[in-house]
Amino acid sequence: MTLFEADLPPMTTSIGRSTADGIWVQGYNLADELMGEVDFGSTFFLLVTGRLPTAGEGRLFNAVLVALADHGLTPSALAARLTYTGAPEAVQGAIAAGVLGAGSEFLGVFENAGRMLRAAAPSEEADDAELDRLARGIVDAHRSRGDRLPGLGHPFHKGVDPRAARLCAMAEDHGLLGPHTRLMLRVQDHATSPSGKSLPLNAGGMCGALLCDLGIDTAALRGVAVVSRAAGIVGHLAEEARAPMGRTLWHLAEREAHYRPRRASGPAARTKD
């Protein structure tokens, strides 16, 4: 053993293992204790947190997954459909293409909002005055940097995002409206657009806040969004197989995109006096 190897920590995992007569996931027997007994969302929660959710947590976590499963012909769905058009024999590539764009504009809001809220570190005991102070600090800091507040505003839902409203109501019903979600609601109260209009809390911002309160690690927040949207992408690809639009999208782009060369110098651009 080299000196370098001696400094390495032991490798351990609690996620899962297989033996000759069983498969174990976070300490549960997969076949006997999970299959047919625990829904997929709750199993996903178990994999990420190491524990099964309570009944209320399970309902809320499943609702989060449902909220972002599909949003129509978004860039992720279009990327998946177009990739499938070029390689229908490799559906996994099309699914990957659809989720690779998870970032600041699409699907990454879970993580961005969660990081913002966790940086503020609201305590379980925080009262309204403390949450207002933290919310004003968040809004002022983003304004001073010229940054957009993650989780607020939506291109279609100008007043209320119905998914965010439903999730908030569910959290209240199950007593799961924790400090991060309460802080996010206060941020919404203090935030306005550059034109002075109010900015509604969108589903991504609400989901990010709720997942923080459910104890999901910050590093896993975007992953939850990706798993959710992957289901919708598979639906788009199933539809693409039976009612393709990929080639139409391709030819539409060919027709509508005008060729405008930007070359302004060099031999071909010179004129004679």
Q: pLDDT truncated to tens, each residue of the chain (273 aa)?
A: 566 666 788 899 999 999 989 999 999 999 999 999 999 999 999 999 999 999 999 999 999 999 999 989 999 999 999 999 999 999 999 999 999 988 877 778 889 999 999 999 999 999 999 999 999 999 999 988 988 889 887 555 556 889 999 999 999 999 999 999 999 999 999 887 566 677 889 999 999 999 999 999 999 999 999 999 999 999 999 999 999 999 999 999 999 998 888 876 555 555 554
Amino acid of residue 16: G
Angstrom CA distances, 160 to 16, 60, 61, 64, 165, stand at 41, 19, 21, 17, 7
Evaluate whether residue 254 is within a structural domain. Answer: no
Residue 260 lies in a domain: no
**Pairing relation of β-strands 16-19 and 28-29?**
unpaired
**Phi then psi for 192, rounded to 5 degrees?**
-140, 160
47 plus 80 within the same structural domain: no
CA–CA separation, 96 and 83 (whole Å): 9
Residue 45 in contact with residue 58, Cβ under 8 Å?
yes
Quote the pLDDT of residue 270.
Answer: 55
Q: Is residue 209 part of a domain?
A: yes
Do both 182 and 97 map to the same domain?
yes
CA 84, CA 239: separation in Å to the nearest integer?
11
Considering the entire predicted model, what is its pTM? 0.88
The identity of residue 57, as a single letter, is E
d(CA 230, CA 246): 18
Q: How far apart are CA 269 and CA 58, in angstroms?
A: 65
- Asked whether residue 93 falls in the same domain as residue 136, the answer is yes
Residue 201 CB contacts under 8 Å (≥ 6 apart), including other chains: 151, 152, 161, 164, 184, 185, 188
Give me the pLDDT at residue 259, please. Answer: 86
Number of domains, the chain:
2
What is the DSSP code (8-state) at residue 214?
T
Cβ atoms 108, 202 nearer than 8 A: no
**Full residue range of the structural domain in which residue 23 is found:** 12-52
Identify whether 239 is part of a domain. yes
Same domain, 88 and 137: yes
Same-domain pairing of 41 and 104: no
pLDDT the model gives residue 108: 84
- If you ran DSSP here, which 8-state letter would residue 11 be given? P
| CATH number for 140 | 1.10.230.10
Contact 131, 139 (CB under 8 A): no
**Whether residue 166 sits in one domain with residue 65:** yes
Structural element, H or E, at residue 24: strand 22-25
| Whole-Å CA distances, 234 to 88, 147, 237 | 13, 34, 5
Give me the pLDDT at residue 67, please: 94
Nearest-angstrom CA–CA distance, 110 and 121: 17
CB 199 within 8 A of CB 178: no
